[in-house]
Amino acid sequence: MNQELITILNKFALGQTTAEENDFFNKWLQAANEADYEMVLDLYQSILVQNSYTEDQDLVLLQKITQSILDYPEYERKPKVNMVRNFARIAVAAALIGSTILTALWYYEKPTSGLVEKQAFHKNDVVPGTNKAVLTLSNGSQVLLSNSKRDIVLDDKNGVIGKNRGGQLIYTRSGNSARRNTITNVYNTIMTPRAGQYQVVLSDGTKVWLNAESSIKFPVTFIGSKREVELTGEAYFEVTKSPKPFRVISREQAVEVLGTHFNINTYPEENITKTTLLEGAVKITKGLEKIQLRPGQESKIVNGRIEVTDDADIQAAIAWKNGEFQFNDTDLKSIMRQLERWYDLDVNYADIPATRFNGSISRNVNVSKVLKMLELTGKIHFKLDGRRVSIMH
């Protein structure tokens, strides 16, 4: 059902729905409950941002208006569902008749907030990614995560809930001691799409930042003598110290720690798995080969072997987590892959030169600003057509 809604809402945003799809969604609205409306509100907000908005101010504006609606005093009282239903219908109706996002939003001004002004947008640009992810529960059901703030029941049997706090999901126990003797292994997975990032605080207090197009599979509650998670893509870890070792299993290696801060980049398209250690100690295992890293070191899996760099570029490795792109003699292909993931682009690599770049720029700007920064070197030029980027030199 979620996938069908995503398909239809994407077509709404582009004005491409059929009469049958419109009828299907109108019937769905009639039968939906409050949680369904909040899910659609989050999802549609994300879709509209990705398809229509381009300026930094516009992204802030959309979030501000949405939060104003959810925070409006009447929303906190009955009929709460009707307000969300009305908002969803207004948004959908406006999209169906081809209106812009601003006409799709119903304005409520709280006493403490100022007037919200309309902002212009440019069609030929792409906004940066946002906090969004999909949480898959042990029973296979999925929850769409975003900047909204609401609690989620993650494992009712073991009394575990998730506090979704604006880009961060925090796992906590309900405190029901009667359940503690019957805990069983229950696994969840959080997956970020392109143009998405998210943070999760695991049940042991370990913090994990997920970059775009990444996923982590983990037990809702750590049971037994070890703590183990599975990673794809890229993540930054701040592992809570414990006698139980913490293991991260990824495509080419296993990383074991007791308590430390480190970054793992294991995107398959990069062909190299990197582990960068900021503090503490980690043990890297690749087949029968094992090495231990010291702070400031970085390991790479190259041609099936572990290589270690003693003087790693720590700031470059965690720049994404701090909201920046940082290029230190970085080749253009690697840069464009980063932009593809964060802006959900389609890059034409047919005629890409072997050019390297140095510099840094915020990840919170539109993609045009990043491309212009690269063009200032005089080595390269870009053509941006929607989400498609062509390279000229």
Min mean pLDDT across 1-5, 39-43, 58-62, 142-146 is at 58-62
Provide the Cα torsion 23, 27, 29, 35; round to 10°. -130
Label residue 357 left, alpha or beta by phi (over 0 means left) and psi (-120 to 50 means alpha).
Answer: beta
Q: Grade residue 259 by pLDDT with cuts at 50, 70 and 90.
A: confident
pLDDT of residue 45: 59
Tell me what the mean pLDDT of segment 381-388 comes to.
90
Beta bridge partners of 289: 286
3-state secondary structure the chain: CHHHHHHHHHHHHHCCCCHHHHHHHHHHHHHCCHHHHHHHHHHHHHHHHHHCCCCHHHHHHHHHHHHHHHHCHHHHCCCHHHHHHHHHHHHHHHHHCCCCHHHHCCCCCCCCCCCCCCCCCCCCCCCCCEECEEEECCCCCEEEECCCEEEEEEECCCCEEEEEECCEEEEEECCCHHHHHHCCCCEEEEEECCCEEEEEECCCCCEEEECCCEEEEEECCCCCCCEEEEEEEEEEEECCCCCCCEEEECCCCEEEECCCEEEEEECHHHCCEEEEEEECCEEEEECCEEEEECCCCEEEEECCEEEEECCCCHHHHCCCCCCEEEEEEEEHHHHHHHHHHHHCCEECCCCCCCCEEEEEEECCCCHHHHHHHHHCCCCCEEEEECCEEEEEC
Residue 141 has pLDDT above 90, yes or no: no
Q: How much is the pTM?
A: 0.69
Q: Grade residue 106 by pLDDT with cuts at 50, 70 and 90.
A: very low
Residues sharing a CB contact under 8 Å with residue 343, sequence separation 6 or more, in sequence order: 126, 127, 128, 129, 194, 195, 367, 387
pLDDT of residue 306: 96
Map tokens 């029941």 to a residue: 153
53-62, 131-140, 214-223, 379-388 — most confident range: 214-223
43-57, 153-167, 241-255 — most confident range: 241-255
**CATH number of this structure's domain 130-316:** 2.60.120.1440
Domain assignments of the chain as residue spans, ordered by start: 2-104, 130-316, 323-392
Beta bridge partners of 190: 135, 216
Cα distances (Å, whole numbers) of residue 310 to 101, 237, 277, 286, 299: 50, 20, 10, 19, 9
Q: How many CB atoms lie within 10 A of CB 381?
A: 12
Residues sharing a CB contact under 8 Å with residue 130, sequence separation 6 or more, in sequence order: 46, 49, 59, 146, 147, 195, 196, 197
The phi, psi pair for 285, rounded to 5°, reads -125, 125
* Contact status, residue 208 vs residue 200, Cβ threshold 8 Å: yes
Q: What percent of the chain has pLDDT over 90?
A: 46
* Contact status, residue 190 vs residue 220, Cβ threshold 8 Å: no
pLDDT single digits (tens) 43-94: 665 655 555 444 443 444 444 444 444 443 433 433 434 444 444 444 444 3
Residue 375 has pLDDT above 60, yes or no: yes
pLDDT single digits (tens) 279-331: 999 999 999 999 999 999 999 998 889 999 999 999 999 999 999 999 999 99
**CATH number of this structure's domain 323-392:** 3.55.50.30
Residue 120 has pLDDT above 70, yes or no: no
